[in-house]
Homo-oligomer: A and B are copies of this chain.
Amino acid sequence: MKQSQFFYKTQKDLPKDEPSINAQLLIRAGFIDKLSAGVYSYLPLGLRVIKKIENIIREELLKIGAQEILMPAMHPKENWMITGRWDTMTDLYKVKEGDKDIALGPTHEEVVVPLAKKYVQSWQDLPEVDSDKNIYPLSLFQFQTKFRKELRAKSGLLRNKEFIMKDLYSFHANQEDLDIFYQKAKEAYEKIFDRLGILESTYYTYASGGTFCEYSHEFQLITEAGEDTIYICQDCLAKGKRIAVNKEIKEKTPKCPECGADNFKEAKAIEVANIFKLMTKFSGPFELFYTDKDGKKQPVIMGCYGMGLGRIMGAIAEVYHDENGIVWPKEIAPFDMHLISLQGKDGQDIKARAEVFYQRISQKSDFELLYDDRDQTPGKKFADSDLIGIPVRVVISSRSLESESVEVKSRDQKEGSLVKIEDFYKDYCNK
């Protein structure tokens, strides 16, 4: 993609009321645009990141047998009356349509449970995990736009009124099956965070389980910008396990639920995901039952597993940046390589050489390439490149061409090095 034609411009003027680092970086670098408080557009750069996050999540969830669906945003009031949340959920947007009332879904238990009811009748519809035979419990996920009336929508992508969420729901015949799948989902989440480049800073955090189970769990990414406070178990950490408890349960939980020690250290963090054993909280009100092997009616046991895509993108920008801009982890960078051509005194020749390099790398290698072919000063090009934060920068200049080379530099390093163009082709052009 040539930058001269890319829908992208670095923005100097930041919107007011946008104190968060992630919003400042992402808006300045042209990843997102603010429409109103807590409501953003994803521009081509930003949507590329979102799609990469989405694909990583999808790949890992398919591996644990989850199936993708897409549920609507508009929910009948009746469904929300059945669970009682029409009146208790304060961040629910309500829409009038004549004398009908509609909820804009902030979550989808009220839709997925009645849906599952059409499909689940007997214990045979609720298999337990059997990895050898590739059999998995019934679990359904979606990437879908949620709506929440957020009063504190001042944290860029961390707290939005409208946001893309991956929500996964699992259905089980008994708690043992749920426990096994819950563990599988936790491991899938860890693989996702590993691929996103944030596993090492993410803590499995014990949180309140409400009235239905002892604990739920949050995945908390450590950063000074975090709105949440968590307490990291130092004993677990010494053994290489990242375990914490959240503020809400800290007082009631003086000891680490994992190891029993009481050696905590406070930290600021962003909740990037959560998992919850719903048990019969929603299957009860919707009468989602199954018939067991003895012919008895039993309630279906459920789990739910959430992950906000925009929030993850915002959290990563909060954690991975330096004074010049974002430093994207490799797997979710909008492009793999940023090619920059500098105009020398013999400018035209360099542009022609850069064009050849661009075409060849685009067609013959696996790199996704952004090529800065604009008529801009080297200073502007380097500054924009640092701001955008693509992992590898490749510069073609009169200096590099003296040795038939390009200058290759990682975004996270200070110094680049010259690589012969022919060697570059040999190493990367595999098509």
Contact = CB atoms under 8 A, between A and B. Distances in A.
A44 interface: yes
A127 B2 CA distance: 14
Interface in A102-154: 104, 111, 115, 118-119, 127, 134-136, 138, 140, 145, 147, 149
Contact of A69 (B2, B44, B140, B162): B44
Nearest to A5: B135
A76 B135 contact: no
A48 to B, nearest CB: 9
Contact of A7 (B67, B76, B127, B161): B67
B111 A104 contact: no
A33 B127 CA distance: 23
How many copies altogether?
Answer: 2
A64 to B, nearest CB: 12
A309 to B, nearest CB: 11
Interface in A146-172: 147, 149, 161-162
B136 A35 contact: no
A378 B175 CA distance: 36
A431 B92 CA distance: 50
Contact of A41 (B33, B94, B104, B115): B115
B35 A72 contact: yes
Nearest to A111: B35
Interface in A47-73: 47, 50, 65, 67-73
A42 B73 CA distance: 12
B95 A67 contact: no
A161 B74 contact: yes
B97 A69 contact: no
A74 B39 contact: yes
A72 B41 contact: yes
Contacts of A35: 71-72, 74-76, 111
A149 B97 contact: yes
Given A33-B115, A76-B36, A111-B35, A138 B70 contact: no
A11 B118 CA distance: 9
B7 A69 contact: yes
A171 to B, nearest CB: 10
A40 B70 CA distance: 9
Nearest to A71: B41
Nearest to A147: B74
16 contacts: A5-B136, A7-B67, A7-B69, A35-B72, A35-B76, A39-B72, A41-B70, A42-B71, A44-B67, A44-B68, A74-B161, A74-B162, A94-B95, A95-B95, A104-B104, A145-B145
